[in-house]
Structure 1
Amino acid sequence: MGIGKQTKRILITVAGGILLVVGVLLLVLPGPGLLLVLAGLLLLASEFPALERYVDPVRDRAMKAAEDSVASPLRIAGSVLAGLALLAAGIVWGTVKSLPFSGWSTGSSLILSSVILFALLIWSYRRVKSRHEAGTRASSDR
């Protein structure tokens, strides 16, 4: 194995491992845990084919969780409020020096979390909406 291929394999393994660990942590913390677990598994499975058997079950659960997150206006509102709270907390932690772990390193990670939450919320909503429209078109074609 050449040095370039070995370096690529190491980088993919490290990135996949980080995504997997962060995803597992976010299963109990607020965040897109299943989607990050899926991303980590997909990366790792590209280098370690034995992991491919775990991809489909995690993908199914991640997509179901994404759809559930936008299943009702109340859930969407809750997610938007959580994103706004993360954004506000990031600004506060970045500017108020008397808070524990204050500074822009903490603040920017909270702000980034809110951006990721909003992006995933929009993605989930569009996915559910397009599936619903496709189902409506299919039933009207009958």
Structure 2
Amino acid sequence: MTFGARMRGWFQRTGSEALGWTLVALGIVMLVMPGPGLLGMFAGIALLARHYTWADRLVEPLEEKAIEAAKYGVATIPRIIVSILGIVWVAGVGLVWFLSPTIPEFEILGVGFGPELPAAGLVGAIGIWISDLIAIVLLVYSIRRWR
């Protein structure tokens, strides 16, 4: 058995499960931090679906809803324009996070914020820009596939 075949076998069994759980955990973190949290969680659950029936039962309806939403989002030119404007807006938010302006101090449910944005700086901006890049790729894919 060659090294490549052994590595493929390992990934199909152990690696995909480990990566799936890692993506689910990172997705949960990215729900509250800048980043594509829901997408990370979905990718993790999709990998776990190869090993667990509970994950397999979750993937199919999520995939159907995602395809339905993608078709709806590119059905008309105004919807595509709104999507593009949203992508530009998110890129601007990433720029604000990168520049890290001071904000007024405030408190929500006993948790204090300010004078800096949460996760401000390059790391937060990169998370936001990765989300934006994913949105661009998915929009282009949806337009090519369903328009």
Shorter-normalised TM range: 0.5 to 0.7
Write the deviation string for residues 75-97 of structure 1: whole angstroms up to 9, x where unpaired: 11111111111111212221244
Instruction: Give the drift of 1:16.
Output: 4.6
Residues 1-142 of structure 1 aligned to structure 2 (within 5 Å): 8=15, 11-18=18-25, 21=28, 25=31, 33=38, 38-99=42-103, 100-101=117-118, 102-129=120-147
Q: TM-score, normalised by structure 1?
A: 0.66
Closer, same or farther: CA 45–67 of 1 in aligned 2, 3 Å: same
SS, match of residue 125 in structure 2: helix
Higher strand fraction (1 or 2):
2
Which letter does structure 2 place at the counterpart of 1:87?
A
Instruction: Give the drift of 1:21.
Output: 4.2
Structure 2 regions of 5+ residues with no counterpart?
A: 1-9, 104-116
Q: RCO higher in 1 or 2 (8 Å CA, sep ≥ 6)?
A: 2
Closer, same or farther: CA 61–69 of 1 in aligned 2, 3 Å: same
Is the contact made by 1:87 and 1:110 (CA closer than 8 Å) also made in structure 2? yes
Write the deviation string for residues 113-139 of structure 1: whole angstroms up to 9, x where unpaired: 11111111111111103xxxxxxxxxx
Is the contact made by 1:19 and 1:37 (CA closer than 8 Å) also made in structure 2? yes
Higher helix fraction (1 or 2):
1
SS, match of residue 47 in structure 1: coil
Which letter does structure 1 place at the counterpart of 2:102?
S
Structure 1 regions of 5+ residues with no counterpart?
A: 130-142
Is the contact made by 1:94 and 1:104 (CA closer than 8 Å) also made in structure 2? yes
Distance 1:66 1:7 in 2: 32
Identity, in percent, stands at: 28
Closer, same or farther: CA 42–9 of 1 in aligned 2, 3 Å: closer
Task: Tell me the C-alpha RMSD between the 2 structures.
Answer: 3.1
Closer, same or farther: CA 98–20 of 1 in aligned 2, 3 Å: closer
Write the deviation string for residues 31-59 of structure 1: whole angstroms up to 9, x where unpaired: 794x6554333211112134323322222
Q: TM-score, normalised by structure 2?
A: 0.64
Q: Provide the aligned length of Structure 1 versus Structure 2.
A: 120
